[in-house]
Amino acid sequence: AQSVTQPDIHITVSEGASLELRCNYSYGATPYLFWYVQSPGQGLQLLLKYFSGDTLVQGIKGFEAEFKRSQSSFNLRKPSVHWSDAAEYFCAVAAGGNDMRFGAGTRLTVKP
- Footprint on this chain of other proteins (rule: CB under 8 A): 32, 34, 36, 42-46, 49, 51-52, 90, 92, 94, 96-105
- 46 versus 56: smaller Cβ distance to other proteins: 46
Distance CA 50, CA 63 (A): 13
Q: Which residues contact 41 (CB under 8 A, 6 or more apart)?
A: none
- 25 versus 36: smaller Cβ distance to other proteins: 36
- 63 versus 90: smaller Cβ distance to other proteins: 90
At closest approach, how far in Å is the CB of 71 from other proteins? 22
Other C-beta atoms lying within 10 Å of the C-beta of residue 74: 29
Nearest residue to 102 (alpha-carbon basis) of 86, 89, 111: 89
